[in-house]
């Protein structure tokens, strides 16, 4: 079984996690946006990779097993999707030295680190684009981009070259050019040999050539056969998950399903629609289970186990904002992630109840003041992570629906029966077992410690509080 199948991932936006410098030295100085101030499109808050390393104890206590870092390479943007140098970690984040330190410290504690690969486009400061800007048609790099005319117009509203979504700051790379392909494949291999544990690939569907991605996989897996490759695909992804391109994708369809089931009518659908999440509809238990079954049935089982199962990311509003501040629903949504096949993935700050709408509001400075935490959210994530570590079959076993009515769902994961109450009223756990727990006797809820009788082919348990779940094991 691969390390990334069922691992608990934590996504970090490096500029916004924690300010720190190398041991004994200060963090990079400069005019920074106040940490507590609302985030802006252009402002920098000064988080570093030294800071991520310093907070590994917090992440270990939470139960995190792998980090997904938003881009870390030299860039003119706080989010660093405007790459200026693919071979240099941004000095504002601590440079290559800080990445090496983080990798060594994380690996020493059993935590893997996955980098964000932005290979569809560069920033205007990238060397090939700068050379083209200075030398025009005479530049040897003229075939690295899709140029429509000279001289280049990089600062007007209508660039005369192809750019990501027409944004002149993001000129699109011509990946069919052999030199470009070789350069990107070299970069991909370089950082895996440096120690990174894989790549999350930004907008890979905008490089539609599957042969490039197959070559990408060969180069990366050749450098480290255990490296994890996950694509940013927002919809169903059969073509990407046949074992020859990606191991998994960011599972936004599952996010929409969980939000629709747990959020119900309380979900801020207008806020969701204004983001990459798009349309999210309320779901009853049976419709929710059908959606899960459809998603799990679309892909080879290894790909299902490798899916990056998330609720939110740097591209969506934050969980508590989507749920209109309803902490109980947020707690249930986060908890449910850990009982489904795939990699439960938490965006930094969701576990303490940070709020925020679409970009840039969703990229605030991490809240480190414990008095401001929604402690019940953090404790739920911490508890579910430990439960999953203690019971490995929760990582590997298939999903099987046992009961679904109104907003109440029961399903098995191997020898365990999960019961979910996504309603605002208590739910009496009197359920048909359909062959689950055939010995009879008693079952133990691994979360609450409660016991239930197993008789007459039914589970007879206590009331489950609103927006809560139980995980039963035969004893």
Catalytic (active-site) positions: 202, 232
Burial class (CB in 10 A: 0-12, 13-18, 19+), 473: middle
3-state secondary structure of 475: coil
DSSP 42: S
Show the tokens assigned to 141.
């790099």
Say how many C-beta atoms besides its own lie within 10 A of residue 76's C-beta: 14
3-state secondary structure of 372: helix
The whole-angstrom separation of Cα 437 and Cα 471 is 13
Torsion of CA 11, 16, 20, 21, to 10 degrees: 90
H-assigned helices in 109-244: 127-135, 178-194, 210-223
What sign has the CA pseudo-torsion 388, 393, 394, 395? Answer: positive
The whole-angstrom separation of Cα 30 and Cα 185 is 34
Q: Edge-to-edge strands of the sheet including 451-455?
A: 399-405, 408-413, 416-421, 468-474, 441-445, 451-455, 458-464, 427-432
Q: What is the DSSP string of 282-347?
A: ---HHHHHHHHHHHHHHS-HHHHHT-EEES--TTS--HHHHTTT-HHHHHHHHHHHTTSSSEEEEE
Q: State the first-to-last Cα distance of the chain, in angstroms, to the nearest integer.
A: 28
């Amino acid at each position: 079984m691969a390390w990334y199948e069922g691992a608990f991932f934590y996504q970090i936006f490096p500029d916004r996690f924690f300010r720190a410098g190398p041991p004994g030295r200060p963090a990079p100085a400069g005019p920074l946006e106040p940490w507590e101030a609302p985030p802006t499109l252009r402002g920098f808050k000064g988080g570093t990779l030294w800071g991520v390393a310093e907070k590994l104890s917090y992440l270990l206590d939470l139960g995190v097993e792998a980090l997904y870092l938003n881009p870390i390479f030299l860039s003119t943007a706080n989010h660093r999707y405007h790459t200026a140098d693919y071979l240099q970690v941004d000095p504002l984040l601590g440079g290559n030295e800080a990445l090496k330190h983080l990798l060594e410290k994380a690996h020493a504690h059993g935590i893997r680190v996955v980098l964000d690969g932005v290979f569809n486009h560069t920033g205007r400061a990238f060397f090939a684009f700068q050379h083209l800007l200075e030398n025009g048609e005479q530049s040897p790099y003229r075939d690295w981009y899709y140029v429509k005319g000279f001289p280049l117009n990089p600062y007007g509203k209508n660039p005369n070259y192809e750019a990501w979504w027409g944004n002149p700051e993001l000129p699109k790379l011509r990946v069919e050019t052999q030199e470009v392909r070789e350069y990107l494949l070299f970069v991909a291999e370089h950082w895996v040999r440096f120690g990174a544990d894989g790549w999350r690939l930004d907008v890979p569907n905008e490089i539609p050539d599957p042969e490039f991605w197959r070559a990408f996989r060969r180069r990366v897996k050749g450098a480290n056969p255990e490296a994890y490759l996950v694509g940013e695909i927002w919809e169903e992804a059969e073509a990407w998950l046949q074992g020859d391109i990606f191991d998994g994708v960011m599972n936004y369809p599952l996010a929409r399903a969980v939000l629709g089931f747990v959020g119900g009518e309380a979900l801020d659908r207008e806020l969701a629609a204004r983001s990459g999440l798009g349309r999210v509809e309320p779901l009853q238990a049976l419709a929710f289970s059908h959606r899960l079954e459809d998603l799990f049935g679309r892909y080879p089982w290894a790909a299902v186990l490798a899916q990056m199962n998330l609720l939110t990311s740097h591209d969506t509003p934050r969980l508590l904002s989507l749920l209109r501040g309803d902490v109980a629903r947020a707690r249930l949504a986060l908890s449910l992630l850990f009982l489904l096949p795939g990699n439960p993935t938490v965006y930094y700050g969701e576990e303490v109840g940070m709020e925020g709408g679409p970009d840039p509001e969703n990229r605030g400075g991490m809240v480190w003041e414990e008095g401001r935490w929604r402690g019940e959210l953090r404790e739920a994530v911490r508890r579910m992570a430990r439960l999953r570590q203690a019971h490995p079959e929760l990582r590997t076993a298939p999903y099987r629906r046992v009961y679904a009515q109104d907003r109440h769902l029961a399903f098995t994961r191997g020898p365990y029966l999960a019961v979910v109450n996504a309603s605002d009223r208590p739910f009496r756990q009197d359920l048909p077992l359909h062959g689950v727990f055939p010995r009879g006797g008693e079952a133990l809820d691994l979360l609450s410690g409660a016991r239930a009788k197993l008789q007459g082919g039914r589970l007879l348990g206590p009331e489950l509080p609103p927006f809560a779940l139980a995980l039963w094991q035969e004893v």
